[in-house]
Amino acid sequence: MQLRFTEADERFRGEVSDWLSDNLAGDFSSIRHRGGPGDEHVFVEERKAWEKCLAEGGWTCIGWPEAWGGKDATIEQQVIFNEEYARAGGPGRVGHIGETLTGPTLLAFGSEAQKQRYLPGIRAGKELWCQGYSEPGAGSDLSAVRTRAILDESTQSWRITGQKVWTSLAHESDFVFVLARTDPAQKAHKGLGFFLVPMNQPGVTIRPITQLTGTAEFNEVFFDEAICGKDDIVGEPGAGWKVAMGLLGFERGVSTLGQQMLFQTELDEVIRIARENGSSKNPALRQRIAEAHIGLRTLRYNSLRMLSGGDDGSLSREAMIYKLCWSSWHRNLGKLAMDVLGPEAELLESEPYNLGRLQSLFLFTRADTIYGGTNQIQRNIIAERALGMPREPRGES
Amino acid sequence: MKFSFTDEQLMLKDSAEGFLAEHAGSGVVRHAMVSQSGIDEALWDKICTEMYWQAILVPEAWGGLGLGLVESVIVLEQIGRVLAPVPIAAGVQSVLALRTVAHHDLAQTLLTELAQGKLVALAHTAARPHWGAAGVEVVATETNDGFILNGEARFVASGHSADALLVVAQLDGDLGLFQVTPDQVGVTLSKTPTMDQTRPMGLLQLSKVTVAAAQCLAQSWRQHLDAVLNLSRILIGAEQVGCAQASLDQSVAYVSERVQFGRTIASYQAIKHKAADMMLKVESSRSLLYYAACVGDEALLGTASEEDLREAAAMLASSAGDAAFFCAGTGIQLHGGVGITEEYDIQLYFKRARSMEAYLGRPDQQREVLATMLLDGDDGHAA
């Protein structure tokens, strides 16, 4: 059991932080600390330029194999990169879906031609991806997707029709990966396909969803006979569920430590305000602030255990609790921030509805316990997979 | 960075788990907890001669295994899981105290004896209600050739069965550390009847007890007491994690058997979600436990600051204290009616969790320690 990084890892850390302080400067200074969750709609053009700058410096896709332009970085190095990136105030990555989801999926399940076609664009920060999983009728129960994919032999292409929802940055993306039904006679996780679909085509319509924050980073995406090539299916028709689930497994949590650095800056801000406005004298708030501090440190050591775990990729117990842990912690931090602010919490920065950072935090963190598997679904997963309790009964679909 | 056990540590965990499963069943616990000593002597003897857990933290120079706090918490987590009726936590606490004065001849003798299985208990507080220096009620007065001790110490872990005691006493505005034996004139040692019967406590009363100068291990021990108590909180944290884990395991086993409305109650989401919340608390406090143990080992080596140790201990005591109580309490609820009977073990864990969370300071008091660090200093907060 060893908490400290090796000297070689620390040298790597120095390399990352030097590069970031040299490059995340000048024109890019304005986007420091921006574009994270709840703030993804801002500075998109600047963040696209930043993604290319990052790519030219060799800092995109560092966990990928060298053959595909990565650095074959170890888990430790990826953790360090994410920590330093967050510490430097690195903006929300417009390329993160491609780098962390599409790329690893193609590396594991994609054909040679698919890798050749799509990996270089992601690595170069030039082609952006978004996610086409959830549908209005398929939220927690993802396997209920109804979007259809029909193979048109005459044009050698797939025609996709249906609706996806909660797609971040859809209007900025070049491609979307879509889970769609290839065989309507099959139900649930059978008869699905995993498709790589260009966004810029007549069959794709995007409609932003305005959230309780007044901003819109999520979208609805409508497919009306949208087209992708016959070869733009990952795996066989009918094997889409396996690919889709594999994709979710690739997020091994290397970015979680970066996420925690972001959380730390939020907690620091709450503590700063508490010290300034005297809330720090309130015994009940003192308890909650201490609890928030403990909770954030717990996330860190949960992550380190998770990342130090077995290399077989199996989901460890600490990995299973991770989403439930951080989402609940973050949501509670939002409420704590409001309580520390007191009456000031209600005052907007300006009309018509410009929220302060902590107000956005308070409102947007209500989404944290819902997206990516609600807290209730997480508890089911823990009970069923970690504790071996009976699975929920399924209704007729 | 490798935040997981080494192969040797995994072996230690597996052997502790296997040994205790075989030798420290519920029957052993229930038999010992109503005995005078509260200890299963045969089990303790077997541990001292075959497993050497009493010697884990004793440096090799004095016949110990020379291992660290990580290894100690690995064993204590398993002890807490079965509520093994052996005075290992008390002994380890004394080893920690003696290591602060390891240059002293008497300390070396005691460390050697501890490694051989003798029980030395630390009597440090009357806990009215303070557990730290402010709670020390024994007073030492210096004489020409030694000291006179007066006063009492309560909640002395396994104290009434001890072969020797380390007594913390007020001395000239600081604290002294003395060795006292139960047979000395003026020493009264008795068992304290406690609500939790699985963790026996003693009461030490000292009336004009004369101790020789050679029995004084330290005269300015105040700062060491803080460090020893923080390290002790990590040991307790290990038992709390074990206690929380056992409460979860026993509850899941019970609800998986119990049938109502034609199905096991484990199949109801209301029950599953409670169990999931229990596991979340178990694993979270376990992560903090391993972190705190690493910090504890660094503190023993002098590479972690007092502040880091205090912070780690307070975070763990808050988290593991709450986890053990939550899991045992929820465990009773999941057991339904039988949860409140004497027959089922979950009640033993509930009482143990309550006793441990209060020992050395409640979780809310630990959070106040952290709040002081975060909110009251001049220089912002701890990193």
Q: What is the pLDDT of residue A251?
A: 63
Distance from CA of A308 to the nearest CA of B (A): 6
Report whether B277 contacts B330 (CB < 8 A): yes
B210 and B270 share one domain: no
B190 and B252 share one domain: no
Chain A residue with minimal CA distance to B10? A1
**Residue B381: pLDDT band by 50, 70, 90 thresholds?**
very low
| Residues A291, B1: C-beta atoms closer than 8 Å | no
| Residues A298, B6: C-beta atoms closer than 8 Å | no
How far is it, in rounded angstroms, from Cα B276 to Cα A389?
A: 10
Which residues in A lie closer than 8 A to residue B315 (C-beta atoms)?
293-294, 297-298
Beta pairing partners, B203: B190
Give Cα separations from B61 to A55, B56, B72 (angstroms): 56, 12, 18
B255 and B179 share one domain: no
User: What single letter denotes the amino acid at residue B161?
Assistant: S
Residue A229 has phi, psi (to 5 degrees) of -65, 160
Q: Is residue B288 part of a domain?
A: yes
Looking at the structure of chain B, the number of domains it has is 2
Interstrand relation of A233-238 and A192-198 (parallel, antiparallel or unpaired): antiparallel
The secondary structure of chain A, three-state, reads: CECCCCHHHHHHHHHHHHHHHHHCCHHHHHHCCCCCCCCCCCCHHHHHHHHHHHHHCCCCCCCCCHHHCCCCCCHHHHHHHHHHHHHCCCCCCCCHHHHHHHHHHHHHHCCHHHHHHHHHHHHCCCCCEEEECCECCECCCHHHCCCEEEEECCCCEEEEEEEEECCCCHHHCCEEEEEEECCCCCCCCCCEEEEEEECCCCCEEEEEECCCCCCCCEEEEEEEEEEEECCCEEEEEEEHHHHHHHHHHHCCCCCHHHHHHHHHHHHHHHHHHHHHHCHHHCHHHHHHHHHHHHHHHHHHHHHHHHHHCCCCCCCCHHHHHHHHHHHHHHHHHHHHHHHHHHHHHHCCCECCCECCHHHHHHHHHHHHCCCCCCHHHHHHHHHHHHCCCCCCCCCCC
B358 and B241 share one domain: yes
Size of interface A-B (CB pairs under 8 A): 147
Residue A353 CB burial class (10 angstroms; 0-12, 13-18, ≥19):
exposed
Report whether A303 contacts A309 (CB < 8 A): no
| Residues A271, B276: C-beta atoms closer than 8 Å | no
Rounded average pLDDT over B222-249: 97
Which residues in B lie closer than 8 A to residue A9 (C-beta atoms)?
1
Q: Tokens 């790329």 appear where?
A: A103
Rounded average pLDDT over B26-41: 96
Count of positions (residues) in chain A? 397
Which one of A4, A289, A387 has the shortest CB-CB distance to B1?
A4
**CATH class for the domain made up of A129-239:** mainly beta
Residue in A252, A228, A229, A233 with CA at minimum distance from that of residue A104:
A252
Q: How far apart are the first and last CA of chain B?
A: 19
Report whether A382 contacts A172 (CB < 8 A): no
A252-386: CATH superfamily: Butyryl-CoA Dehydrogenase, subunit A, domain 3 (1.20.140.10)
Q: Which helix (DSSP H) or strand (DSSP E) does residue A160 occupy?
A: strand A157-165
B251 and B181 share one domain: no
Residue ending a domain, among B218, B251, B275, is B218
Residue in A368, A359, A360 with CA at minimum distance from that of residue A339:
A359
| Residues A389, B5: C-beta atoms closer than 8 Å | no
B181 and B317 share one domain: no
Residue ending a domain, among B218, B249, B269, is B218
| Residues B294, A321: C-beta atoms closer than 8 Å | no
List chain A pLDDT tens, one digit each, 397 residues: 888 889 999 999 999 999 999 999 999 999 998 888 778 888 999 999 999 999 999 999 999 999 999 999 988 899 899 989 999 999 999 998 999 899 999 999 999 999 999 999 999 999 999 999 999 999 999 999 999 999 999 999 999 999 999 999 899 999 999 999 999 999 889 999 999 999 999 999 999 999 999 998 899 999 999 999 999 999 999 999 999 988 776 665 677 777 888 899 999 999 999 999 999 999 999 999 999 999 999 999 998 888 887 544 455 777 789 999 999 999 999 999 999 999 999 999 999 999 999 999 999 999 999 998 899 999 999 999 999 999 999 887 5
Distance from CA of B3 to the nearest CA of A (A): 5
Beta pairing partners, B218: B177
Q: Is residue B58 part of a domain?
A: no
Report whether B110 contacts B98 (CB < 8 A): yes
| Residues B3, A286: C-beta atoms closer than 8 Å | no
Report whether A232 contacts A197 (CB < 8 A): yes
B238 and B343 share one domain: yes
Task: Mutate one of B284, B298, B303 to test the A interface: name it (highest A CB count within 10 A).
Answer: B284
Least confident interval from A68-82, B206-220, B340-354 = A68-82
Which residues in A lie closer than 8 A to residue B319 (C-beta atoms)?
294, 298
B172 and B187 share one domain: yes
Q: Is residue B129 part of a domain?
A: yes
Which residues in B lie closer than 8 A to residue A322 (C-beta atoms)?
none
How far is it, in rounded angstroms, from Cα B282 to Cα B280?
A: 6
Residue ending a domain, among B218, B238, B267, is B218
Cis status of the peptide bond prior to B129, with omega within 30 of 0: yes
B370 and B229 share one domain: yes
B313 and B230 share one domain: yes
Q: Left, alpha or beta for A372 (phi > 0: left; psi -120 to 50: alpha)?
A: left
Residue spans per domain, chain A: 7-94, 129-239, 252-386
**CATH class for the domain made up of A7-94:** mainly alpha
Distance from CA of A301 to the nearest CA of B (A): 5
Max CA distance (Å), chain B: 80
Residue A350 has phi, psi (to 5 degrees) of -165, 170
B268 and B213 share one domain: no
Q: What is the pLDDT of residue A18?
A: 97
Q: Which residue range(s) make up the domain with B364?
A: 222-375
Q: Is residue B323 part of a domain?
A: yes
Q: What is the pLDDT of residue A313?
A: 46
The complex's ipTM works out to: 0.96
- Which of the residues of A are catalytic? 251
Q: What is the pLDDT of residue A319?
A: 79
| Residues A308, B288: C-beta atoms closer than 8 Å | no
B187 and B321 share one domain: no
